[in-house]
Amino acid sequence: MGTPLTAIYPGSFDPLTLGHVDLIRRGSRIFPRLVVAVLRNREKSALFTVAERMEMLHEVTAQMPGVEIAEFEGLLVDFAEKVGAGALLRGIRAISDYEYEFQMAWMNRRMAPALETVFMMPGEDYAYLSSRLVKEVAAGGRAVTGMVPPAVEARLRAKFGETAASARQRP
Ligand code: PNS
């Protein structure tokens, strides 16, 4: 397995939220090389294509040194080996994240014992933020300002039309 100085931050990023951006920032302060990896095989049920998700990630992380954007298919442990990563970075928000995250971490450890999963907490402003809820809010015509980067907000508005996202600010 690779050096722990390279970490992968994997996810669906459909779409990227400010919680993800916060984790990328925190991770890039610890790992000199951080590969943000977008999972490919969920495209059918996704709102954004992998290409769109990668484009948004590129835009948002352009000024962050050591951050790379990639896509992957199949098992994460195989991708980690391919890029020479020694660590997997995952964000933990509420207690409800733990079970799913621990299952994944244990399974990944079984397959790749030297690959270490590292959990980090996002800033408290993002503790209850998720891509799924952001999509629901935007689809329902409410603003998602402060939940996603402006580049993502603009794309959500484009997807859901004029009545969506920040176009219909209600009290
Ligand atoms: O953002 P998400 O949807 O919580 O990310 C989940 C992700 C992409 C990390 C997970 O689904 C994954 O690693 N998929 C790749 C397939 C794999 O390796 N499965 C075994 C994990 S135990």
Per-domain residue ranges for the chain? 3-124
Separation of 11 CA from ligand 1 center, angstroms?
6
The C-alpha atoms of residue 28 and residue 12 are separated, in whole angstroms, by: 19
Residue with CA at minimum distance from ligand 1 atom 13: 76
> Residue 16: which of 45, 57, 55, 44 has the closest Cα?
57
- Give residue 162's pLDDT: 53
Q: Considering the chain, what percentage of its residues have pLDDT values greater than 70?
A: 90
The pTM assigned to this predicted structure is 0.92
- Give residue 42's pLDDT: 62
Q: Does domain 3-124 have CATH number 3.40.1670.10?
A: no
- Over residues 41-90, the pLDDT tens digits come to 766 789 999 999 999 999 999 999 999 999 999 999 999 999 999 999 99
Whether the CB of 108 sits within 6 Å of ligand 1: yes
